[in-house]
Amino acid sequence: PADGAPLLVLEDLKRHFGGVKAVDGLSVSVQSGAIHGLIGPNGSGKSTVVNVISGLYTPSSGRVLLRGSALPTGSLFRVARAGVARTFQNLQLFGELTALENVMVALKGVYRSPLPMVLFGLGRAEERRARADALALLNLIGLRGQALNKAKDLTYGAQRFLEIARALARKPDLLILDEPAAGLAHPDVLQQIEIIKRVHQRGITIILIEHHMDVVSELCSTVTVLDGGKVIAEGAPDEVKRHPKVVEAYLGQ
């Protein structure tokens, strides 16, 4: 919004695993409409932050606010219903289902039906609507022509794009992408950049965890850099990557 109100705020967020301080007092504001980068060396706490925001883990302490209200904690379902969707660093597709069915299953959160209902039991009008929604999402990720292929038969890159379409099926206000380019060949990385831009143009705020600094520079307005579960730098990508602490953290890897 014009007043610059943040969509998501992390307030002194902590998540410890025994003695491991995976997330150790993070305070971050994500502006509405931004593509906000989250970077840092391996083990710096990026995935743990996402796991806490998305409800997979409960925080040890601190708060997560969405539009100023506390986001439910410890429930993937309730967080998704509040308008926050995520992808996983490892793929979570149904290999034996088609690309179209994979998206339709994800739509069940919207249509409030159990899986068999989505695939077989929806009323004719609802089924048409679900199918049309799913096809539109496949079109957005460039997979409209492979709608009837089984997920396991798609290329690895296409599977990663399909995961984005599945997350979008929940009609989120905030989409969190955890290393979506991991393992992608260069042409697929370029296509993924285009997909992320299209998603952003739909008005969806994005948190992007990404290793490739050129991808971050191309897409993100703001970047938060983590090391040891703490923020070590924040700002525009081109400033942040010259920050001495950031250079040091990456060299020390």
Which positions touch ligand ADP (CB under 6 A)?
Answer: 17, 20, 22, 40, 42-48
Can residue 191 be called a binding residue for Mg ion (CB under 5 A)?
no
- Give yes or no for a contact between 209 and 183, defined as CB atoms under 8 angstroms apart: no
Among the residue ranges 32-40, 42-50, 136-144, 145-153, the one whose residues contact Mg ion (CB under 5 A): 42-50
Q: In angstroms, what is the minimal distance from the CB of 200 to ligand ADP?
A: 23
Structure tokens at 170: 């929940």
Between 88 and 161, CB nearer to ligand ADP: 88
40 binds, among ligand ADP, Mg ion, none (CB under 5 to 8 A by kind): ligand ADP
Q: Which amino acid is at 105?
A: V
48 binds, among ligand ADP, Mg ion, none (CB under 5 to 8 A by kind): ligand ADP
Q: In angstroms, what is the minimal distance from the CB of 150 to ligand ADP?
A: 30
Q: In angstroms, what is the minimal distance from the CB of 225 to ligand ADP?
A: 11
Ramachandran class of 4: left when φ > 0, alpha when ψ lies in -120 to 50, beta otherwise? left
Between 14 and 200, CB nearer to ligand ADP: 14
Rule CB under 5 A: which residues touch Mg ion? 46-47
